[in-house]
Amino acid sequence: MNFNATLIGQLVTFAIFVWFTMKFVWPMLLKQMEERETRIADGLAAAEQGQKDFAEAQEKSSAEINKGKEQAATIIAQAQKRHDEIVDEAKDDAKAESDRIKENALSEIEQEKEKARQELRNQVAALAIAGAEQILMKEVDQAAHNEVLAKISQQL
Amino acid sequence: MASGTELTSNSYLQHHLQNLVLGKLPEGYERAGGHIVEHSSWTFAHSPQEALDMGFWSLNVDTMGWSIFLGMIFCFFFYRVAKKVESGAPSGFANLIEMTVEFVNKNVNDIMTVKNPLIGPLALTIFIWITLMNTMDIVPVDLLPLIAQFVTGNEHLYFKVVPTTDPNITFGLSLGVFILIIYYSIKMKGVGGFIGELAFQPFGKYMIPFNLILEGIGLLAKPVSLALRLFGNLYAGELIFLLIATLIGSALPYFIGTIFGGALQFVWAVFHILIILLQAFVFMMLTIVYLAMAHEHH
């Protein structure tokens, strides 16, 4: 163990290297690492935020879909109801119309019947007169017997 | 074991434990080969005795050179990563460097109660630099000296490649730490506070001389223990590598010595990885602790 100037040389070298590290290495490395740390933290936070946003959007969209579904269901129900109403209305209308037509037909028939009956009556009366003429072999005075004839035709 | 072999392994060890020393030999000095220096001149020492006779103003060119080279490697790679603005995820090597910085920074923040921008870079430099210097121990003991001998053409060239097995290097480091301890003690507590701490603790003002001796030893023990711990561990590790290496060339039947020695080298190298990192870590942690203590009032 003989000491010589190497001791001083090493001391000076040591000082120079420490100075160099302090000046050019340590602060830059620490700064760089800190920057990366914050960047990574930011990135993680952003990712988390994104995930949260995505979940929120998903929730929102599913709520929207549910709402839409509900709306569609009500619309369908309303439509169904309306459809039923229309069908009922149509049925009612048709029934009323058919009733009216039936009534008309009936009254017409009645009228026709009445007319036919009247005609028949008249014809019967004429026939009856003709018959009576035949039987009596003489002219029947229509005017004189009108009252009787009317009576007969009334009974027919 | 034959005496010739003993001599060889002995000189092998001695040769490996001698630094390459550049220094000035005085006029009229008789060199190892019997040659007498005519004019006082700068030269490399040819023997341990010559290195010793060069006195304080000589330089261990090998360990100093490796120390500076490894420190520059440290600065180069860390500077390259620090300079590059990484936008995304760091690549493998940058990751390793950032992990180291984070590790050191965490230790500094855990121990230091006062913020000081010097301690982090200091701890990082100590940790990486000492790790790199210690790692030179893993390189096979004869490889780099043989290359150096081949390159220079001098087969007696001394060449120690592990800077931390040179007490000059470890004391150089611990002396730097010691200066910082005293500087921050005085800066934070004032000269009076610093001396007061030495004089009035632990037994009060009536035992000042005793306190001074006790605290003075405690203060001096810090750099000495720092340097000696690192030096001792690495020197011992290196010595064991060398001893195992002598086994390879020993009088045992050739292949037994080689195989056994090679296996032992490998096992010791694996175990030594632990010591390399542990000693660098211990040096760094103690530096931080000592400086933290210098910042605090007792």
The string of pLDDT tens digits covering residues B183-209 is 999 998 888 888 888 888 777 778 888
**Beta partners for B43?**
B23
Q: Is A9 on the interface with B (CB under 8 A)?
A: yes
B233 given a catalytic annotation = yes
> Which pTM does this prediction carry?
0.76
C-alpha to C-alpha distance for A53 and A46, rounded to whole angstroms: 10
Residue B176 confidence (pLDDT): 95
CB B58 within 8 A of CB B43: no
C-alpha to C-alpha distance for B107 and B185, rounded to whole angstroms: 21
The string of pLDDT tens digits covering residues B107-117 is 999 998 888 89
Domain boundaries, chain B: 61-295
Residue B279 confidence (pLDDT): 95
Cβ contacts (< 8 Å) between B68 and chain A: which residues?
13
Angle CA(B104)–CA(B105)–CA(B106) in degrees, nearest 5? 90
- Percent of chain A with pLDDT strictly greater than 90: 60
Which of A1, A3, A8, A10 is best to mutate for the B interface (most B CBs within 10 A)?
A: A10
Q: Is A2 on the interface with B (CB under 8 A)?
A: yes
Both tokens of A134, joined, read 């035949």
Note which residues in 27-86 of chain A have CB less than 8 A from chain B. 27-30, 32-33, 36
B80 given a catalytic annotation = no
C-alpha radius of gyration, chain A, whole number: 60
Q: B267 or B2: whose pLDDT is higher?
A: B267
**Shortest CA distance from A35: residue in chain B:** B87
Q: A4 vs B21: CB contact, 8 Å cut-off?
A: yes
C-alpha to C-alpha distance for B144 and B100, rounded to whole angstroms: 28
- Of B291, B271, B98, which is closest to residue A40 (Cα–Cα)? B98
Sign, CA dihedral B1-B2-B3-B9, equals negative
| B36 phi and psi angles, rounded to 5 deg | -105, 130
**Residue B83: pLDDT over 90:** no
Cβ contacts (< 8 Å) between B173 and chain A: which residues?
10, 14
CB B178 within 8 A of CB B231: no
Enumerate residue ranges in chain A where pLDDT < 50: none
Sign, CA dihedral A130-A134-A135-A139, equals positive
Residue B1: pLDDT band (50, 70, 90) is: very low
Residue B4 confidence (pLDDT): 40
Both tokens of A132, joined, read 């009576």
Both tokens of B212, joined, read 């001074």
Residue B5 confidence (pLDDT): 44
In this complex, the residue of B67, B168, B175 whose CB is nearest that of residue A4 is B168
C-alpha to C-alpha distance for B214 and B220, rounded to whole angstroms: 10
Distance of CA B95 to the CA centre of its chain: 27
Which is catalytic among the residues B31, B105, B116, B229?
Answer: B229
- Cβ-in-10-Å burial (0-12, 13-18, 19+) of A76 comes to exposed
In this complex, the residue of A10, A28, A33 whose CB is nearest that of residue B168 is A10
Cβ contacts (< 8 Å) between B51 and chain A: which residues?
2
Cβ contacts (< 8 Å) between A29 and chain B: which residues?
78, 81-82, 97-98, 101
Q: A6 vs B60: CB contact, 8 Å cut-off?
A: yes
Which is catalytic among the residues B67, B211, B233, B250?
Answer: B233
B31 given a catalytic annotation = no
Question: Residue B75, SS3?
Answer: helix
Cβ contacts (< 8 Å) between A15 and chain B: which residues?
176
- Of B153, B171, B169, B152, which is closest to residue B161 (Cα–Cα)? B169
One DSSP character per residue, A41-63 reads: HHHHHHHHHHHHHHHHHHHHHHH
In this complex, the residue of B98, B122, B172 whose CB is nearest that of residue A7 is B172
